Amino acid sequence: MIKLLLPLLLVVPSHADRPPATLDWQPCPGGGAVAAECTALPVPVTSARTVTLTLARLPATGVRKGAVMVNFGGPQGDQIAFLRSRPQVFDRIRESMDVVTWDPRGYPGLSGPVLACDWRLLRTPRFPADQAGFDRLVADNRARGDRCRDTDPDLFDHMDSGSDARDVEAIRVALGERRVNFIGTSYGGVIAQAYARRYPHRVRTVYVDGTGNHSARDWDRELDAIARDNEAFARRFLDWAGPGVERRWQALVARAHAEPVPALSVGVAYDGTQLQALAFGKLRGGPDRWAEVSRAITAAEAGDASGFAPPPGRDPHPGLPGGGVKECLDFPHSDFRQVTRTVERLRRIAPNTGASFPLAWHLPLTCTGWPTPTANPPAPLPLPPFLGAGTWQDHAPTKRVTDQVAGSRTIFHDGPGHNLFAGMMNPCVVEHVSAYVTDRRLPPANATCP
């Protein structure tokens, strides 16, 4: 990986030393595990328009020496509620720092206004068999995007992570901080990368956890790398399952590509990509779920794929929540020819998992035809060292982010799960992150956490 060094000469924006805003911190509305303070901050959407963010902080418990900003990912709007649900992970940091988050622009939460969009689970379509099928997806996505955009076109067009980065900068100025400490977990790591690209001279520390690489120079190569990551993850299960299971699994997937296999308990049928995605979702739960997947393969071979279905009460189809409002502005869009070529390539690279992951499947098929073009495409990073962490599932893509920046470190947890810091609250990771954010002390190279 190419290492990028911070330029020696940097142009500091004119607002960099503006006096901090007068923020009226008051108790946050609603309940939570701990009391937090909230305030309102207007931020620009366009030169003629602002929206109002609600910020929340857990104040420093000792002598305050700065602040750290946090986005827990999703992408979702209820960041403040999430912060209040797990304050204990910040105990060490709060000895000398305020912990600050905000409910992002446009999403349901405490900030306003909120886009009038469908924020429920969006089913992932099947890969279309021909151009006509792809054109129908284009029309459907355009209509869905227009319905959302028509409620507030200016805000809709500025929902990308680059716009979130500008909000982070406005928060930095309002707090009176010279530089930013940023903890970005899951999709929050994409926002962290966007801030670091736009304001490298304002970065003190950045920690990313279980995030995707939104800093790739070549997007096709990144998709190939994700496919290899998934294949390596699936290999753990296949080695556990024993001889013959890989051959049977690939035969089942090929059969489902030709004719979807019914899942009788939920009244649907799954094609090969859907089976791969649903199986991978169960495998992510770790070895405790692997026997369940093995039984599901056997039952599907006999004609019933019900074992791959999500738990009762959930939509039986693969999908993602949030409608893609941010993701469709952050990632490249594809035409039918590109999608077809990518799917064929990924299936060769990863015969057991194929193109069943969101960046190769869900986003290309749900963002094509989007009424606003990509505003914040992936691009390389120029900034001081990062700290990252990841599990079986996401250490590799997180490391592809940190490897771009000389001197960075990435912690590996040899096990399943996602979001080691804020989701899993891994004590070892929490300790390393706390030392890095407060003292800029990085762990040794190739660090691991149990």
Q: Which tens digits make up the pLDDT trace of 207-261?
A: 999 999 999 999 999 999 999 999 999 999 999 999 999 999 999 999 999 999 9
Question: Whole-model pTM?
Answer: 0.92
Separation of alpha carbons 249 and 296, rounded Å: 10
CB distance 323 to 369 below 8 Å: no
Domains of the chain, earliest start first: 26-115+158-215+379-449 (3.40.50.1820), 219-367 (no CATH)
Residue 151 pLDDT: 92
Mark the ranges of the chain whose per-residue pLDDT is less than 50: 1-16
Separation of alpha carbons 179 and 205, rounded Å: 9
Three-state DSSP class for residue 440 = coil
Which one, of 229, 170, 204, lies nearest residue 394 by Cα? 229
CB distance 86 to 425 below 8 Å: yes
Helices (H), 65-175: 79-85, 131-149, 153-156, 161-175
Residue 6 pLDDT: 28
The torsion angles phi and psi of 4, rounded to 5 degrees, stand at -110, 130
